[in-house]
Amino acid sequence: MEDKNITTITEFIILGFYEFPELQIPLFLLFLLLYLVILMGNLTIITMTCLDPRLHTPMYFFLCNLSFLDVSYTSVTLPKLMDISLRNSHHISAIGCFTQMYYFMFSVCVEFLLLTVMAYDRYVAICHPLRYSIIMNMRRCVLMVTGAWIYGVLEPVTHTILLSHLSYCGSHEINHFFCDLSALLKLSCTNISTIDHMTYVLAGLVMLPCFLLTLTSYVYIISAILRIRSSEGRRKAFSTCSSHLTVVTLFYVSLACLYVKPTSMQSLDLNKLIALLYNVLIPLLNPIIYSLKNRELKEAIKKVGKRTQFAKTKKHIFLVRKGLTSHLSKR
């Protein structure tokens, strides 16, 4: 049997959406537009949360962290994809590739934990409203969020180290638009069963508990809502968690389709489309869903808009008066 051509990898080639060579410029413009909308939407939530004292609550504190996370991991994957589409720049260093993969896995892990914490927050708000301020005090909220970020930083380290020590043979072309775990494993000529098993173990330590805790929270939430006698009361109670429930559903469905199957059974072309859903659609929809569903956030945006308009009008009046005074003094 012939020995495989094993080489020390120094760079990879990210193919992106090479199947559509004639659409690269339109794809660049589309991704640029989506990226700008993602930045604008999520940064708006962060800004509003910081500026409006009415939004200094646990729910918006968690939402602010979620928006920051969405901006961060989108900024790791989309700029490179746009560079590929615009300049045909497919090469990425091995260090850059593993760093991109690490950051993506870190982001997925933190988002699991943040969405779980937000589910618990909604559970306390609906099932224990009188004790909400005591249970969800700021100290506890900061500890939960800090724990999510720290765990997210540590969890992908083992994966990244093991993957960087694999032997890669033959083509170094990654059939994806970023350095995804499944795409890199496809290129390895080493036995990847250890990493496959570890992926399921770590998923069991993160994804399964988060899913069960979120599911349990919503079982209690729905039970509490159904016990409310008035339809108006049920509607108001459900509106407080409908945004989060929508985001959680999108998140879990896309991640389950992407990773909950053996590496050997994964289609990279299908993975690209599902990963695009996670990388673009979810960060794009998060601010839209929360903006449309949350009255406080909409009022904060309107309030800041009125302040900005008032400041512009005041500045205009000042400039007009200054110009008029200057004109009269010259006469």
DSSP letter at 57 equals S
Compute the distance between CA of residue 164 and CA of residue 183 in angstroms, rounded to an integer: 13
Asked if residue 1 has pLDDT above 60, the reply is no
The residue-averaged pLDDT of 159-178 equals: 81
Domain range summary for the chain, segments of one domain joined by +:
9-293
Indicate the fold that domain 9-293 takes in CATH: Rhopdopsin 7-helix transmembrane proteins (1.20.1070)
Please state, rounded to an integer, the average pLDDT across all residues of the chain.
81
Compute the distance between CA of residue 99 and CA of residue 12 in angstroms, rounded to an integer: 13
Compute the distance between CA of residue 296 and CA of residue 81 in angstroms, rounded to an integer: 36
User: String of b and e for 232-253 (b: at least 16 CB within 10 Å)?
Assistant: eeeeebeebbebbbbbbebbbe
Per-residue pLDDT reduced to its tens digit, 32-58: 999 999 999 899 889 888 888 888 889
Q: Which residue has the tokens 């449309």?
A: 292
For the chain, where are the alpha helices, taking DSSP H only? Answer: 24-51, 58-87, 94-127, 132-135, 138-154, 157-164, 181-187, 193-226, 231-259, 268-276, 282-293, 295-330
Which of 227-236, 294-303, 308-317 bottoms out in mean pLDDT, i.e. has the lowest? 308-317
Q: Model-level pTM?
A: 0.82
DSSP letter at 281 equals I
Under the banding of pLDDT at 50, 70 and 90, the label for residue 256 is confident
CB 77 within 8 A of CB 100: yes
Compute the distance between CA of residue 76 and CA of residue 190 in angstroms, rounded to an integer: 28
Q: What percent of the chain has pLDDT over 90?
A: 24
Compute the distance between CA of residue 56 and CA of residue 271 in angstroms, rounded to an integer: 38
With helix as H, strand as E and coil as C, how does 156-212 read?
Answer: CHHHHHHHHCCCEECCCEECCCCCCHHHHHHHECCCCHHHHHHHHHHHHHHHHHHHH
Under the banding of pLDDT at 50, 70 and 90, the label for residue 310 is very low
Six-digit token string for 192 = 């990847």
Under the banding of pLDDT at 50, 70 and 90, the label for residue 88 is confident
pLDDT of residue 269: 66
Asked if residue 198 has pLDDT above 80, the reply is no
Cα–Cα distances in angstroms (integers) from residue 186 to residues 99, 198, 242, in the given order? 18, 16, 39
CB contact set of 235 (below 8 Å; sequence gap of 6+): none
pLDDT of residue 62: 93
Top mean-pLDDT range of 57-66, 196-205, 320-329: 57-66
Top mean-pLDDT range of 80-84, 189-193, 198-202: 80-84
Q: Quick one: how far is CA 259 from the chain centroid? A: 16
User: Which one is predicted more confidently, 313 or 235?
Assistant: 235
Under the banding of pLDDT at 50, 70 and 90, the label for residue 324 is low
**CA-angle at 280, arms to 156 and 9, nearest 5°:** 45
Under the banding of pLDDT at 50, 70 and 90, the label for residue 246 is confident
Asked if residue 181 has pLDDT above 70, the reply is yes
DSSP letter at 18 equals T
Under the banding of pLDDT at 50, 70 and 90, the label for residue 120 is very high
